[in-house]
A and B are shown apart, each in its own frame.
Chain A
Amino acid sequence: MNANPNGKPPLKVRLATTSLAGCFGCHMSLLDIDERLFELAGLAEFDRSPFTDIKQCGPCDIALIEGGVCNSENVHVLRELRANAKILVAVGACAINGGVPALRNRLKIGDILDKVYRDDSGEVHIPDDPELPASLDKIYPINEIVRIDYFLPGCPPSGDAIWKYLTDLILGRVPRLDHQLLHYD
C-alpha cells in the first residue's frame, strides 16, 4: 500500500505530553518503546512536551498526562492541555488516583509546610515568592480537575502497554490492554 501517493508528507497526529505531580517514570517508560520511536515519529509529531521543550501547547490531537495535581501550576497546565487537545489520556497511577504523592492527603497542608520549613531554631520560613506555585490542600487525580477521555494505568505502564494504547488511539481503534499489559503497580 502506498501511503503517500501524492508525494505530500503524510498527515501526522500532534501529540503533547506533560508531567504534573509525577516522577517522569511514565515519560521514561514511553522512551522504553525503543526502536518503535522511529515508527512513532512516522505517525506523530510532538507539541508541548519535555521531549521538545516547547512550553506552551498549541492545538493538538492527543495529550498524555503523567502525574496528579498538587499545585496551582499543575491546574493551569492541565487546563491548557484540555483546552488544546482533542483527547486527554491519564497515564500512570498518579494521574489516575494521585499515586504515591497522594500519600500526603491524610495530612493537613499547613502541618506539612510547618514541618518541612521549620529550621533548627524552631522558626518557620515558608517560601512565599509569587513565582512559586501554591500547593493545593491535597493531591487530586486529574479527572477531578478536567474531563479525561482515556486512562492508561500502571506505575509506570510498560513501554509495550503505552505503545499498544497509543497506537490503538492513533489508528482509531478502541484502546484495550490485555491481562499481561494491564497493571496498577
Chain B
Amino acid sequence: MTELLFNIDDLPVPFKPGQTILEAAKAAGVFVPHLCHHPRLKPHGGCKLCTVVVNGRTQSACTYKVAAGQEVDIDTPELNAMRRSLVQLLFIEGNHFCPTCEKTGACELQALGYEYEMLSPHFAEFYPADREVDASHPDVLIDRNRCIMCERCVRASRDIDGKNVFGIAGRGGKATLAINSPTGKLADSDFAVTDSAAHICPVGAILVKRNGFATPIGERAYDAHPISDSVNVCEIAEEAK
C-alpha cells in the first residue's frame, strides 16, 4: 500500500486516515500551537491558535481532518502574526500579571507569547474587576483572573473524571468558570486533587496548593526551551507540575 501524504509548508508528510491536521503534524514532529486542545480530550476548536491554511482556506488544525494531497500552511508570517494578536487579546481580556503568578515559566499562554515575540499587549487592557478567586478547596486554588475559557477543565472533569465539576456560565464578557456545587464553591463539589482536571489548566487559573515554587522560577518547562521545541506541549507542562 502506498503511503498517504499531504504537505505541510511545502514538505510531504505522511498521515493515517481519520487523523486531524494537528495529530498528523504532531506525529511528524511538526509544532502546531494550541491552548484549548489536549491529546486526552476531544477536539474543541475554541482558541484558534492552531489555525492553519488548508488549500487556501483557514481551518482549525485540531478539528480538520487530513486528506491526501492537501496543502497546509502552518508556520507563515501571516499566521504567526495572527497568533500573536490572539495571544495579546487573551492577555488583555484577563488579569495576567506574570511576575505574581505561580504558573510563570510553565504557562502555555506565556510560552506562546514568547514564541510569537509578543513584546506588548498592544490592545487596551480590560482589567476586569469581577473575577473571583476561590481558595475554599483544601488542595486546589481557582483564580478566575487568569482563566482563558479554554474549557480543558470542563471537558476533563466531564469526560475523563466523570464528575462534571466545571462549566462556563454567562455570555461574552460576562462569561465565567462556574462550579457545580450548591454554593458555587469548589470545596462543596466532589472535586479532588487527584482529578485530571486539577492538572490540565494551560494557564495559572487552576493551581494545586503548596506546590507553587517546588520548581524555582527560571528552571521551569519553558524557561529552558521554547514551546515549539517539542510537539508534546501538554505532556511537558503536566510533568512539570
Give the residue of B98, B99, B125 whose beta carbon is less than 8 angstroms from that of A144: B125
Known contacts A97-B121, A138-B127, A153-B119; A182/B97 CB under 8 A? no
The listed residue with most A CB atoms (<10 A of its CB), out of B96, B121, B127, is B127
Measured CB to CB, the nearest residue on chain B to A139 is B127
Chain A residues with CB below 8 A from B110, complex form: 184-185
Bound-complex Cα distance A97 to B120 (A) = 8
Chain A residues numbered 132-185 whose CB sits less than 8 Å from any CB in chain B:
138, 141, 143-144, 148, 150-153, 155, 176-177, 179, 182-185
Q: Is B191 located at the chain interface by the 8 A CB criterion?
A: no
Interface assignment of B226: CB less than 8 Å from any CB of chain A: yes
B-chain residues with CB within 8 Å of residue A20 when the two chains form the complex: none
> Which of A105, A153, A176, A185 has most chain B Cβ within 10 Å?
A185
Measured between beta carbons, the chain B residues less than 8 angstroms from A57 are: none
Residues in B whose Cβ lies below 8 Å from that of A99: 97, 99
Contact between A103 and B119, CB atoms less than 8 A apart: no
Q: Once the chains bind, are A185 and B105 in contact (CB under 8 Å)?
A: yes
CB-based contact B129/A143 at 8 Å: no
Query: In the complex, what's the smallest C-beta–C-beta distance from A72 to chain B, in angstroms?
Result: 20
Q: Are B121 and A105 in contact (CB under 8 A)?
A: no
- Shortest Cβ gap from A174 to chain B (Å): 11
Q: Is the CB–CB distance between B121 and A106 below 8 Å?
A: no
Partner of B117, one of A96, A98, A176, A183: A176
Q: Are A143 and B117 in contact (CB under 8 A)?
A: no
Query: Can you show 27 pairs from A to B with CB atoms below 8 A apart?
Result: A93-B98, A93-B99, A96-B120, A97-B121, A98-B97, A98-B125, A99-B97, A99-B99, A100-B97, A100-B99, A100-B100, A102-B125, A102-B127, A103-B97, A103-B100, A105-B129, A106-B95, A106-B128, A106-B129, A141-B121, A143-B120, A177-B119, A179-B114, A179-B226, A183-B223, A185-B101, A185-B105
Alpha-carbon distance between A103 and B99 when the two chains are bound, in angstroms: 12
Q: Which residues of B contact A90 (CB under 8 A)?
A: 120
| Chain B, Cβ-Cβ closest to A104 | B127
Q: Chain B, interface size: which category?
A: 20 to 34
User: Does any Cβ of A come within 8 Å of B113's Cβ?
Assistant: yes
Which chain B residues border A96 with CB–CB below 8 Å?
Answer: 119-121
Cross-chain contact A184 with B99 (CB below 8 angstroms): yes
Interface residues of B (CB under 8 A from A): 91-92, 95-101, 104-105, 110, 113-114, 117, 119-121, 124-125, 127-129, 131, 217, 223, 225-226
Most buried by B among A96, A97, A138, A143: A97
The answer to whether A97 touches B117, judged by C-beta atoms less than 8 angstroms apart, is no
The answer to whether A97 and B99 touch across the interface, beta carbons within 8 angstroms, is no
A151 to B114: give the CA distance in the assembly, Å. 13
Q: Taking the nearest CB of chain B, how far is it from the CB of A101, in angstroms?
A: 10
Known: A98-B127, A141-B125, A185-B104. A155 touches B119 (CB 8 A): no
A138: B residues at CB distance < 8 A: 127
Query: In the bound complex, what is the Cα–Cα distance between A162 and B223 (angstroms)?
Result: 18
